[in-house]
Amino acid sequence: MEQIFALFTIFLAFAFSGRCSDDFSRSDFPEGFLFGAGTSAYQWEGAATEDGRKPSVWDTLCHSRNQDNGDITCDGYHKYKEDVKLMVDTNLDAFRFSISWSRLIPSKFSYLLQEPHPRISNPCKLTTGIEPHVTLYHYDHPQYLEDEYRGWLNRRMIKDFTAYADVCFREFGNHVKFWTTINEANVFSIGGYTDGLTPPGRCSIPGRNCVSGNSSIEQYIVGHNLLLAHASASRIYKQKYKGGFVGLSLYFLGLIPSTSSKDDYIATQRAKSFYTGWMLGSLIYGDYPDTMKRIVGSRLPVFSEEESEQVKGSSDFIGVIHYHATSVTNIKSKPSLSGNPDFYSDMGVSFHYFGKIFDFKYAVAPWAMEVVLEYIKQSYGNPPVYILENGIPMKQDSQLKQKDTPRVEYLHAYIGGVLKSIRSGSDTRGYFVWSFMDLYELIGGYEVGFGLYSVNFSDPHRKRSPRLSAHWYSDFLNGTTAFLGSQGITELQRNLSSSF
Ligand SMILES: *[C@@H]1O[C@H](CO)[C@@H](O)[C@H](O)[C@H]1NC(C)=O
Ligand SMILES: *[C@@H]1O[C@H](CO)[C@@H](O)[C@H](O)[C@H]1NC(C)=O
Ligand SMILES: *[C@@H]1O[C@H](CO)[C@@H](O)[C@H](O)[C@H]1NC(C)=O
Ligand SMILES: *[C@@H]1O[C@H](CO)[C@@H](O)[C@H](O)[C@H]1NC(C)=O
């Protein structure tokens, strides 16, 4: 009898997982679940010097290193009306974009702005029923703040960020309910201050292209100030405005131990603490994880009691950015290139990505999304989650190709993974594809495109064209189709063959 019962359970489990991973439709998601796609200001707007916009640290990094830049990119600044129409065609519930701080407030003296910025306010008022999801800060603080006092390394930034956030809440708050203060705060700190690969490009690791920095301490100082700035903006919102939600976004790797050894298991816990527990622990429990405090010691800033109270509970939702499944191996001695400890030697692990991270072959590993959502649920009390980025890139040579079948397969699999997590209790409330269209990428410039729509960057008009994935997403979102794996994708391709 027991055996039969066990078999029956196994059968049910299969039936259920089969249903979840392949055959599902939009209506399987909870009511009010938001599906969208995203962009960010510097990557999409262009018009870098128009209407008084001043450079951000991102402009400075691109130009000083002589790499691709966002001077024109998709020209979304001028083409937003056309793009809003594409959003409607794609049946998006929500659109994610960011506000350019140095466009809105081009100098220290423009905080008392009387009129809303004419062009920024427009995408906020999407009168189409599409919900705007706005990020205040996406790697692009004004260069004048970096020049004056080194930006996020200085606590003065907390006050300036809060004043900027206040202007945004005041000017656009009637139309915007969802605010993300800071985009992937953890990777901004590591990329900009440990590795120096991303703006503002500071580091002290030998062999890197940095003019100045200190990879032993700066990422921790910046992380601390980001958390305090987020908490301060969130508090202003609660004091002066109402009806919306303020969250912080973090970059998550789907981390699993590379072997069944105890060392790799502990290393994986440590990697989670360093990579995301760093900020999640602060937001949910008001302090850094113990492991981190023990290892980083006096290089890690300390929250005063008052700060801890402010940071704790300051995020109405967690913004999840997720692309990669990663296995973790313990590193026994902790070598660091410079002889000084840095974020990586502190963490003491090596990462092995499934698929390849820099040559654009992302593994389709939706279980990694489930690992992330389960971790947030189990370790941090199941806060509301919006998945703010997920997607795959394609190389330049295939960028203008419209048949992005691997992208459809990836998105389909990951949306299935999200559904599975929701069914096991995760409070995930939205999912955004990165990116709505091809745009200037932080790593990879124009060599890669993540877009549902391709953009012809050789064309002065920056013509947009829907890819297979745009058609697929559109159909999925209006409930026209529930795809049955690759067969359904092939059928869609055939049905649409006249458009390609
Ligand atoms: C970085 O800061 C640490 C701690 O203050 C200090 O010991 C170290 O010498 C600094 N390194 C560099 C490259 O400035
Ligand atoms: C992109 O635009 C350029 C310039 O208008 C044009 O010559 C080229 O054919 C376009 N490429 C594609 C794939 O449409
Ligand atoms: C769904 O979208 C397709 C293609 O965009 C369109 O033809 C169809 O009318 C839409 N159906 C609904 C129910 O909105
Ligand atoms: C393809 O077209 C047929 C006939 O219109 C339709 O029944 C089928 O659902 C379509 N398949 C997909 C995946 O759109």
Query: What is the per-residue pLDDT across 46-95, written as a single tens digit (0 to 9) for each?
Result: 999 998 999 999 999 999 998 999 999 999 999 999 999 999 999 999 99
Counting from 1 in the atom list of ligand 2, the atom nearest the Cα of 456 is 1
Point out the ligand nearest to the CA of residue 498. 4
Kind of pairing between the strands at 428-434 and 394-395: unpaired
CA of 206 to the centre of ligand 1 (A): 13
Backbone angles phi, psi at 205, to 5 degrees: -75, 125
- Number of neighbouring beta carbons within 10 Å of residue 451: 29
117 pLDDT exceeds 60? no
Question: In this structure, are residues 413 and 348 in contact, taking their beta carbons and an 8 Å threshold?
Answer: no
Ligand 1 contacts CB of residue 203 (under 6 A): no
Contacts with 83 (C-beta within 8 Å, 6 or more apart), sequence order: 76, 436, 437, 464
pLDDT (0 to 100) of residue 259? 95
Using the mean position of ligand 3's atoms as its centre, give its distance from the Cα of residue 474 in Å: 8
Q: Residue 395's pLDDT band (boundaries 50, 70, 90)?
A: confident
Catalytic, 389? Answer: yes
Q: Residue 329 to residues 10, 23, 158, 356: CA-CA distances in angstroms?
A: 32, 35, 37, 17
* pLDDT confidence of residue 351: 94
CB 397 within 8 A of CB 61: no
Question: Rounded to whole angstroms, how far apart are CA atoms 362 and 17?
Answer: 23
Compute, in angstroms, the gap from residue 359 CA to the centroid of ligand 2.
25
Atom 1 of ligand 4, residue of closest alpha carbon: 495
Return all residues near 294 (Cβ < 8 A) that are at least 6 apart.
none
Amino acid found at 429: R
Contacts of 169 (CB under 8 A, 6+ apart): 179, 236, 237, 240, 241
Structural domains in the chain, sorted by start? 2-499 (3.20.20.80)
Phi, psi of 119 (to 5 degrees): -90, -25
Q: What is the C-alpha separation between 131 and 95, in angstroms, rounded?
A: 6
pLDDT of res. 334: 57
Whether the CB of 216 sits within 6 Å of ligand 1: yes
Give me ligand 4 centre to Cα 481, in Å. 8
The beta-strand segments (E) located in 54-152 are: 94-98, 131-137
Distance, C-alpha 26 to centroid of its chain? 23
Query: Measured between alpha carbons, how far is 426 from 381 in angstroms, rounded to an integer?
Result: 10
Per annotation, catalytic residue among 184, 218, 307, 441: 184
**How many Å apart are CA 85 and CA 300, to the nearest integer?**
47
Residue located nearest, by CA, to atom 14 of ligand 4:
492
**Radius of gyration in angstroms for the set of CA atoms belonging to the chain, rounded to a whole number:** 22
The active-site residue out of 307, 389, 409, 441 is 389
Confidence of residue 112 (pLDDT cuts 50, 70, 90): very low
Q: Worst-scoring range by mean pLDDT, 2-6, 114-118, 225-229, 348-352?
A: 2-6
pLDDT classification of 169: cutoffs 50, 70, 90: very high
Confidence of residue 405 (pLDDT cuts 50, 70, 90): confident
Q: Cα-Cα-Cα-Cα dihedral of 270, 273, 275, 278, to 10°?
A: -150
Percent share of the chain, pLDDT over 90: 75
For the segment 227-242, the average pLDDT, to the nearest whole number, is: 97
146 flagged as catalytic:
no
